[in-house]
Amino acid sequence: MFTSKIMTAVRKPMVLCQILGFLIFATAFFLPAITLDKDTFDHSFPVGWPAGVPFSPWDNSRDIAQGWYCAQFAFRVPFDFDNYKFPETLLVTLSGWTNLLVLTYLGFSFLPKFVKTRRFLAMAIPLCLIATWLYFAIGPIYPLIGHSMWIVGAFMIIAPEIADLFVKRRIGQELLSPDL
């Protein structure tokens, strides 16, 4: 009973965190997410933007892409079998999975019986984000405000799962403590 009261008190702010995280995550798709170094980026790079195709649909003079453009590119790359190159294609594919995993996590967050699935997704999302940063290092691609907001939003969305793990572990240690 003591544990359930604490979990209920913790859950309300976590739901608000999740809602705010979703709003930040969604906003990131409409902001400049990445830029690339024109001098060192190889447009013949198999999973890079092809030469002659505008990197940004609104501004052809700058190499900046909004978040939705990055998401669309990451979704398209795994199906481009002619230009497959390891590890770049794998990293871009994992990066694109982040969006699907976050949305799947949100769907399962309304169903309390899928705790193990949510925990698995909460562990997979950061791994996919690491793949994004590895691709940036290979690129050279540099993150902008949209990418940062995308990261913050994703972590705020999975924060309830992470908090549940720490709170339950701490409550368990307190209940087992001989000082009580």
* 120: nearest Cα among 101, 139, 135: 101
Tokens 């409409």 found at = 30
3-class SS letters over 21-60: HHHHHHHHCCCEEEEECCCCCCCCCCCCCCCCCCCCCCCC
> How sure is the predictor about 86, in pLDDT bands with cuts at 50, 70 and 90?
confident
Q: Supply the mean pLDDT for the chain.
A: 78
Digit-coded pLDDT (tens) for 139-178? 778 899 999 999 999 999 999 888 877 776 655 554 444 5
Q: What is the pLDDT of residue 78?
A: 82
Q: What is the pTM of this model?
A: 0.76
Distance CA(40)–CA(83), nearest Å, equals: 20
The residue ranges of DSSP E strands in 41-157, in sequence order, are 64-66, 141-143
Distance CA(26)–CA(110), nearest Å, equals: 19
